[in-house]
């Protein structure tokens, strides 16, 4: 955390930060990189261990535990769609030119659709690999413990993503 904070302090001193668009692109690429690693490891686990043929209602948890897990899953889904507030800000800053509005709405639609399908795939394949024992964090939870080098690459990608995402979300463009 101290290293993360130090990096943030250094990046906050950069003048004309809005000209560093590459940081936002790098953060997005890192997000897809660690997600692809998690997806690949989940597929590898499914390939080696196979898929259990049982329904989600056969989990060995109490009704109360099942209820709280459902509530947590709904909360996770709601948290994952925090982009909706960013989308409103993007639409608010659009110029009145119809061509620009149309292009930006199309780009937002393609981006949100692609991201949604990709992360749903990650979630479904991860759940298929672990069933009711799926960890909250697939990469650093009790999900995978090998190959260590690949998990380290994923964690570095995650750190770079969070560094870029924090800078982009904390900057004021006034």
SS3 per-residue string spanning 130-172 = HHHHCCCCCCCCCCCCCCHHHHHHHHHHHHHHHHHHHHHHHCC
Per-residue confidence (pLDDT) for residue 153, from 0 to 100: 92
SS3 state at 1: coil
Per-residue confidence (pLDDT) for residue 36, from 0 to 100: 92
Averaged pLDDT for residues 68-91: 76
Residue 157 binned pLDDT confidence (cut-offs 50, 70, 90): very high
Between 64 and 78, the higher pLDDT residue? 64
Cβ distance 123 to 35 under 8 Å? no
Per-residue confidence (pLDDT) for residue 156, from 0 to 100: 92
- For tokens 């925090």, the residue is 82
Tell me the two tokens of residue 146: 């090998």
Tell me the two tokens of residue 124: 């479904």
Per-residue confidence (pLDDT) for residue 15, from 0 to 100: 78
Between 43 and 88, the higher pLDDT residue? 43
């Amino acid at each position: 955390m101290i290293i993360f904070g130090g990096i943030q302090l250094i990046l906050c001193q950069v003048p004309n930060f809005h000209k560093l668009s590459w940081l936002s692109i790098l953060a997005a690429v890192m997000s897809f990189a660690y997600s692809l690693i998690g997806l690949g490891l989940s597929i590898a686990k499914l390939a080696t261990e196979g898929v259990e043929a049982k329904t989600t209602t056969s989990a060995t948890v109490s009704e109360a535990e099942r209820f709280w897990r459902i509530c947590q899953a709904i909360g996770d889904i709601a948290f994952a769609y925090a982009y909706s507030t960013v989308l409103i800000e993007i639409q608010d800053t659009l110029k009145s030119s119809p061509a620009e509005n149309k292009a930006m709405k199309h780009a937002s639609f393609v981006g949100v659709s692609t991201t949604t399908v990709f992360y749903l795939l990650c979630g479904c394949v991860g759940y298929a690999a672990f069933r009711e024992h799926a960890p909250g964090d697939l990469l650093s939870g009790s999900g995978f413990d090998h190959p260590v080098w690949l998990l380290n690459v994923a964690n570095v990608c995650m750190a770079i993503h969070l560094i870029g995402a924090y800078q982009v979300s904390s900057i004021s463009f006034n």
